[in-house]
Structure 1
Amino acid sequence: MSKILKVQNLHKTYRSGEHDLNVLNDVSFEVERGETFAIVGPSGSGKTTLLGLCAGLDITNEGDIWLCGKNLADLDEDGRARLRNENVGFVFQDFQLLPTLTALENVIVPLELRSIKKAAEQGKELLAKVGLEDRAGHYPSQLSGGEQQRVALARAFANKPSILFADEPTGNLDDETGTKIEKLLFELNKEQGTALVIVTHDLELAQKTDKSIRLRSGKIEESYS
């Protein structure tokens, strides 16, 4: 295995009024290609901030992040965006589907942005994998929360990402639906050989991953493997 994500001595501070707020303090970990990894911790522990930094959505104050072999500090905003478009998938707690597009259209947005031929055909195949081939023409408002998250999963895997970042992917779902989404997420991840980094407060979900870290007050409290 080779490292898909390496975080070294990461610090993140935000200015709050006249004071500095330390959100992350000396965080280091590594994720191998194809590995599943969880970041757990209570609200306010820095989980989502850490995920955003790892994906290049924000920049660090100190420390280094290597994503897909590139140091994010060496890239400008456009460079980080290109790296994400080519290598990264996202799944969010609130689905973030475009309300004016059908399920199929939402899935193929990443493919069309890259001018992929037969985007619609690939999109239909992905919807079939998540069990929604008969809902391709439905809009998000016509889908249940679980169905919307399945569309979001299909979209996340559309570009065959090297790494997928999932921020509380079952946070807005009931237990039964959440369990189905978890199963689907791990199945698609294994099938495509994608590294998976999950932010969650759900310890049961974290225990299903290969490795995990627990954050508290911006520091790694424990590591598990």
Structure 2
Amino acid sequence: MSDILVVQNLSKSFSSGNKTLTVLDDISFSVEEGASVSIVGPSGSGKTTLLGLCAGLDVATSGTVSLVGMKLNALDEDDRAYVRNQHVGFIFQNFQLLPTLTALENVTVPLELRGEKGFKPKGEELLDRVGLGDRMQHYPSQLSGGEQQRVALARAFISSPKILFADEPTGNLDEDTAHHVTDILFNINKEEGTTLVLVTHNMELAENTERILQIRGGKLVADRKSLTAS
């Protein structure tokens, strides 16, 4: 299989007064199509910054990111947004659902923004798959945290993304709910054959992926197969 994500000598720095803060320092790795990878490390280690650079949400100070065959640093903001819209799904810790839309409307928003038609049945099918077939017309305020994250999961898969970026997807959930959401995420991801890049500080969650990248102090300090990888 070919690589869907290639990170080469990636660094990210910020200026703070007369000082320069280096958040990521010369990181390189690649991810094959269909693989699942976790990025782990303590708070402040640069995990979320790295995820944002990989997804084209931000630009690096130096180094390159190639996503689905396109060098993101060579693209302007609009072109990076187009790449994300066409190829990328996102799951966030805080769900990021639109409060004025129903569960079904939240799920189908990405396809509506792309100008596609006839997307309602696919949204309904995905909500069924995450166990919310009877909650389609509920608003986020009428759903529990676990239910909101399952809506977010359905939304992430609605556009059949080639790669899914998940940032602490169970961070706001209790342990039992987190396990349930994790099972749904990995089951759908496997069924769809989507590449998964997951940021977490939870090693138990990380072991669900095939490979684990460990970040410490902005550097990549380990790259190993997970204990559960076959």
TM-score by length of 1: 0.99
Mapped pair 1:217 → 2:217 = yes
User: 1: CA distance between counterparts of 2:18 and 2:95?
Assistant: 35
The aligned residue for residue 166 of structure 1 is 166
The aligned residue for residue 119 of structure 1 is 119
The aligned residue for residue 90 of structure 2 is 90
**Deviation at residue 18 of structure 1 after TM alignment:** 1.2
**Deviation at residue 121 of structure 1 after TM alignment:** 1.2
User: How large is the RMSD of aligned CA atoms in angstroms?
Assistant: 0.6
User: 1: CA distance between counterparts of 2:106 and 2:162?
Assistant: 20
The aligned residue for residue 194 of structure 2 is 194
Number of residues of Structure 1 aligned to a counterpart in Structure 2:
225
Kindly provide the CA deviation profile for residues 161-182 of structure 1, in whole angstroms up to 9, marking residues without a partner as x: 0000000000000011000111
User: 1: CA distance between counterparts of 2:207 and 2:182?
Assistant: 12
The aligned residue for residue 151 of structure 1 is 151
User: 2: CA distance between counterparts of 1:205 and 1:43?
Assistant: 16
User: 2: CA distance between counterparts of 1:68 and 1:2?
Assistant: 10
Kindly provide the CA deviation profile for residues 100-119 of structure 1, in whole angstroms up to 9, marking residues without a partner as x: 00000000000111122211
The aligned residue for residue 73 of structure 2 is 73
- AA paired with 2:142? Q
Indicate the SS of the match to 1:133: coil
The 5-angstrom pairing of residues 103-142 of structure 1 reads 103-142=103-142
Mapped pair 1:175 → 2:175 = yes
Unpaired runs of 5+ residues, structure 1, are none
- AA paired with 1:183? D
**Deviation at residue 222 of structure 1 after TM alignment:** 1.1
Q: Percent identity?
A: 62
**Deviation at residue 127 of structure 1 after TM alignment:** 0.4
**Deviation at residue 65 of structure 1 after TM alignment:** 0.4
Indicate the SS of the match to 1:56: coil
The aligned residue for residue 9 of structure 2 is 9
User: 2: CA distance between counterparts of 1:125 and 1:58?
Assistant: 33
Unpaired runs of 5+ residues, structure 2, are 226-230
User: 2: CA distance between counterparts of 1:10 and 1:93?
Assistant: 25
- AA paired with 1:198? L
User: 2: CA distance between counterparts of 1:6 and 1:182?
Assistant: 26
**Deviation at residue 205 of structure 1 after TM alignment:** 1.1
TM-score by length of 2: 0.97
**Deviation at residue 88 of structure 1 after TM alignment:** 0.2
User: 1: CA distance between counterparts of 2:74 and 2:22?
Assistant: 23
- AA paired with 2:111? L
- AA paired with 2:200? T
**Deviation at residue 157 of structure 1 after TM alignment:** 0.3
Indicate the SS of the match to 1:49: helix
